[in-house]
Amino acid sequence: MSYLELKGVEKYYGDFHAIKGINLSIQKGEFIVFVGPSGCGKSTLLRMIAGLEEINGGDLVLDGKEITHMLPSKRDLAMVFQSYALYPHMTVEENMSFALRIQKQDPAVIKEKVAQAADKLNLTDYLKRTPKELSGGQRQRVAIGRAIVRSPKVFLFDEPLSNLDAALRGQTRVEIAHLHRELNATSIYVTHDQVEAMTLADRVVVLQAGVIEQVGTPMELYDRPANKFVAQFIGMPKMNLMPAKHFANMDPNISEVGVRPEHFTLVEAGSGDLQGKVEMVEALGNETLIHVELADGEMIIVRQYEQTSLRPEAPVGVKIDPEQVHRFDAQGKAIR
């Protein structure tokens, strides 16, 4: 039985149909990531689950109870905001204990819970400080701490790492993954960063223009994208798409063919499936991205894990791994 269920959930802003009937079942303990380009409605959907945005249609059911129109303060969900949204006039300890103090829990119990959470998040030495005396990473940990002391039914994360620098982002991502494994709490996490989506999620929900494009494990999305949008959204650099007419003996229903950069291999000019010339080489050390201009002017990117001595203008052949070809019809739907 699912723990959190969205049934045909809708959102309108005036005439603008922001969320178009979302159906989604989330199991207890699952880590779900909403991902999509900006403006796709992922944050709106999260805020609707939180109760911070009104739901204009459909139902929201949590743990067998309908909560579609319940006040956010009654839902027993915790949210970690992108801006941290700490209470600036309270110390770290007061920030983390706020929810429990509102519930009028026993002060001794509160102290104990805060101490445990602070210990988990390496915040013990900072409990008496105010947020403005903390670094960005520490603030984000306080925001997470504020959520975990409550043991809420679901954790909601709204792009929690996007205000951190790259190094800290990587580190905090790992910490969040650890925490999730430790607490095994149901979590919904919104991001536009596909690395976060791929590394954290049990299941990823790809959204575009208020519609779910695909739901699946990170590898399902990578290996078997349901459509062109998902195929190109997941993976960096994105999947190469080529018109089907480049290839002989193609099913007439197939309009485009997609191949990920690592499923191309460069071979001698004249052999392989496609012919072209090197346009640019990006040597990244652990991998090399070779931009190849095909005979008809189409650009593709080839990824290889060895370094190369190829120079721009060098003629090359490109071989395609036949097991790893994605086929899309005229509507962009994957054909298997």
Summarize as ranges the residues that interact with other proteins (CB under 8 A): 50-52, 71-74, 76-79, 81, 83, 85-89, 98-99, 102-103, 146, 150, 156
Shortest distance, position 119 Cβ to other proteins, whole Å? 21
Tokens, residue 213: 């494009």
CA 81, 185, 45, 237 torsion-angle sign: positive
Shortest distance, position 267 Cβ to other proteins, whole Å? 54
Tokens, residue 244: 């089907």
Q: How far apart are CA 169 and CA 179, in angstroms?
A: 15
Question: Nearer Cβ to other proteins, position 93 or 256?
Answer: 93
Shortest distance, position 49 Cβ to other proteins, whole Å? 11
Question: Nearer Cβ to other proteins, position 79 or 114?
Answer: 79
Question: Nearer Cβ to other proteins, position 47 or 120?
Answer: 47
Question: Nearer Cβ to other proteins, position 163 or 265?
Answer: 163
| Sole residue written with tokens 């072209």 | 276
Shortest distance, position 90 Cβ to other proteins, whole Å? 8
Look at phi and psi of residue 209 and say left if phi exceeds 0, alpha if psi is from -120 to 50, else beta: left
Question: Nearer Cβ to other proteins, position 123 or 290?
Answer: 123
Question: Nearer Cβ to other proteins, position 152 or 332?
Answer: 152
Tell me how many degrees the CA angle 165-114-76 measures, rounded to the nearest 5: 85
Question: Nearer Cβ to other proteins, position 98 or 247?
Answer: 98
Shortest distance, position 26 Cβ to other proteins, whole Å? 18
Shortest distance, position 9 Cβ to other proteins, whole Å? 19
Shortest distance, position 146 Cβ to other proteins, whole Å? 7
Q: What are the start-end ranges of the H helices in the chain?
A: 42-50, 92-102, 107-120, 136-148, 166-183, 194-200, 218-223, 228-233
Question: Nearer Cβ to other proteins, position 86 or 301?
Answer: 86
Residues 57 and 10 sit within 8 Å (Cβ to Cβ): yes
Q: In 3D, which of 212, 255, 263 has the Cα closest to residue 233?
A: 212
| DSSP three-state, residue 3 | coil
Shortest distance, position 193 Cβ to other proteins, whole Å? 20
Q: What is the DSSP string of 144-179?
A: HHHHHTT--SEEEEESTTTTS-HHHHHHHHHHHHHH
Shortest distance, position 149 Cβ to other proteins, whole Å? 10
CA distances from 132 to 47, 102, 214 (A): 26, 23, 41
Three-state SS string over 296-314 comes to: CCCEEEEEECCCCCCCCCC
Q: What is the strand order of the sheet 4-13 is part of?
A: 16-26, 4-13, 57-62, 65-66
Question: Nearer Cβ to other proteins, position 71 or 108?
Answer: 71
Strand-pair category, 274-283 with 77-80: unpaired
